[in-house]
Chains A and B, each alone.
Chain A
Amino acid sequence: MEATMNASRAMTLRDKVRVTLAITAKDMLEGLRNKNTLTVVVTVILMIVMYRFLPLITGANDPKQVFLYEVGPSETLADLEYSSSIRVRNALSLDALKRRIGNGNEPELGLVIPADFDARGAADEPIEIQGYVVNWVSEDEAQELVQQVENSIYEETGLDVRVQLSEDRIYPAVDNDGAAFLASLGVIFALCMLGISFIPHLMIEEKSARTLDALMISPASVWMVVSAKVLTGLTYGLVIGVPALLICGPVIINWSVAGSAILSIGIFTISVGLLLGTLLNTRQQLMAWAWVAVIPLMLPPFLVVMQELIPGWLAGLLPWIPTVAASLLIRASAAVEIPLDFILRNLAIILVWSGIMLTVTVSVIRRRDR
């Protein structure tokens, strides 16, 4: 008899994988047949798309930002502050200019104004100035920006200036707070929404339908059930993650770092969702507690860029929060060089927290037999 055969041997790793994948497949199929799941997934994708494109629509007519580093002060260019088509900011050094450009969250132009700018203008000589843009701005966007700035300078000063774009694009710094920062918030928000609004149902439904009891007397162990639900969450996370990654696409250059960060924060938000689903029993309870859970997840990455406004003890805690660690990693993935210890430390923070959450989830389920 099959049962006797099965009973005579312990479960092999292959058996465990088979059981885990069977539960994963079941959960995914159930998700597809569940209107609530589809609603959550579609809503989150729409939110991501809006997050990406709304600023482009609302800010389409905003003046372009130009940073000037004046090697010698130019009185002529002072007139640019009256321009309605460009907004001029000054940088105190070339490094400062590069840093400001790298921190931008929209295409911006950095110009190095030569010391003899005014003299050349007065002598009607052709003026060529060096321009810089950040790496993720496309060639077409860069040329359009240059054209717009050249026209604005001509309109305000009457000078025919040619901007020569540097072939060396500017790369954001590891701790940039520009486009990569916004992209990190978008990705983390999408995964938090998945973790809090969809994943808990995987556990709540098993409990309320009492199918968890049937699973617990089957060859499935608690760890297999939980692992299967993590895999299900990651698969749905992929559906949400692809549009989120499209947001980051142009910004990120270190895909391995960004990918590791997104995968690990995905596991973390899923583990939070599973714990919520294990502790709560009804959809109503979840709706009440989801908003309590979302604050400590979503707020800290914002607070990181305004550390001077928050108490020191809170600023000291922030780096230990998984969503902050993920945000730091995604931000850093826009930089050329990222210190290895920075990557490992932040990944470790996220994964250790995920491990803690999953262990607590498993122990809560196990306590059902106590």
Chain B
Amino acid sequence: MKSIEACELTRTFNGLTAVDRLNFSVEQGEIFGFLGPNGAGKTTTLRMLTGQLRPTSGSARVMGCDIVNERERLKPQIGVVFEQQNLYTRFSALDNLKFYARLYGISASRIDQVLQRVGLAERARQRTSKYSNGMRQRLMIARALLHQPRVLFLDEPTRGLDPGVARDIRSLIAELAREDVTIFLTTHYMEEADRLCGRVAIINKGQVVALASPAELKADLGREATLEDVFLEKTGYELYRPAEAYGDPN
């Protein structure tokens, strides 16, 4: 079953095309990586798929719901971890989650479950303004999981985190996929995408320039190619220093 289907999805801002006729689909329980350089249209696509932004043309369905006309039906089925942390910093983690639990009409016992799951149960009563970056990010994930969404959108969830927290979050993402939750992941970390994603789409200037499994993409480029090599090749990025300077064997 397809969780996400985008058909000619397009978005322009003042005549500038940010997302250009995207076509892709994501299967239920799949971890789908959405990669691209800064300004390629990743966040714009994510915002459209989550109903935050209307497409200029084209359409998309998430869990069978049209992203424009069936937003109210769509909302309970998706969870979003935003690129920028957006918590109520005067509240504790518990109060933040209690608030969202009330919005979704969820019992308080679910709050304990998600706090345990992201490892914040011990410090749930602390104000989030006192939290570290990693703790806030874990709380963002807890919030997104609170209502047990079928599709989870993660916008650069490990950006700026220390390796330990980042690994915890990756493990959680893999665990969720095993529970049949569809993951739509944007990231700049190619290794992360390589390890986690069943398939990745690379977009550049609003268009999909590659879509396959990381293994297939690497194989297409040649022996011992990394996903980063694929990314650089597909996005046409020209290194202004030779690869050897970084100790790149290629």
Answer yes or no: do A and B interact.
Answer: yes
Residues on the A chain within 8 Å of B87, using CB: 209, 211
CB pair B75 A213 closer than 8 Å: no
* A72 part of interface (Cβ distance < 8 Å): no
Closest to B107 in A: A2
Q: In the complex, what's the smallest C-beta–C-beta distance from A17 to chain B, in angstroms?
A: 11
Q: How large is the interface on B (under 10, 10 to 19, 20 to 34, 35 or more residues)?
A: 35 or more
Q: Bound complex: CA of A33 vs CA of B213, how far in Å?
A: 49
Q: Bound complex: CA of A3 vs CA of B100, how far in Å?
A: 13
CB pair B77 A30 closer than 8 Å: no
In residues 1-52 of chain A, which contact B (Cβ within 8 Å)?
1-4, 6-7, 10-11, 15, 18-19, 22-23, 25-26, 29-30, 33-34
Closest to A23 in B: B103
B78 in complex: contacting residue of A26, A30, A217, A370, CB < 8 Å = A217
CB pair A26 B63 closer than 8 Å: no
Residues on the B chain within 8 Å of A214, using CB: 80, 82, 86, 100, 143
Q: Bound complex: CA of A25 vs CA of B63, how far in Å?
A: 32
CB pair A217 B51 closer than 8 Å: yes
Contacts A3-B148, A6-B76, A217-B50; is A210 near B84 (CB within 8 Å)?
yes
Q: Bound complex: CA of A283 vs CA of B45, how far in Å?
A: 31
CB pair A210 B104 closer than 8 Å: no
Number of A-B contacts (CB under 8 A): 92
Residues on the A chain within 8 Å of B99, using CB: 22, 25-26
Q: How large is the interface on A (under 10, 10 to 19, 20 to 34, 35 or more residues)?
A: 20 to 34
CB pair A220 B103 closer than 8 Å: yes
A209 in complex: contacting residue of B51, B80, B86, CB < 8 Å = B86
Residues on the B chain within 8 Å of A221, using CB: 72
In residues 49-97 of chain B, which contact A (Cβ within 8 Å)?
50-54, 63, 72-73, 75-78, 80, 82, 84, 86-91, 95
* A256 part of interface (Cβ distance < 8 Å): no
Closest to A15 in B: B105
CB pair A10 B150 closer than 8 Å: no
Binary per-residue interface labels of chain B (144-171) against chain A in the complex, 1 for a CB within 8 Å, 0 otherwise: 0001111000000000000000000000
Contacts A217-B51, A218-B100, A369-B54; is A3 near B76 (CB within 8 Å)?
yes
B-binding residues in A (CB < 8 A): 1-4, 6-7, 10-11, 15, 18-19, 22-23, 25-26, 29-30, 33-34, 209-211, 213-221, 368-370
Q: List 23 A-B contacts (CB under 8 A).
A: A3-B148, A3-B150, A4-B150, A6-B76, A6-B104, A6-B105, A7-B63, A10-B72, A10-B73, A19-B103, A25-B102, A29-B91, A34-B90, A209-B87, A209-B89, A211-B88, A214-B80, A214-B86, A217-B80, A218-B75, A218-B104, A219-B105, A369-B54
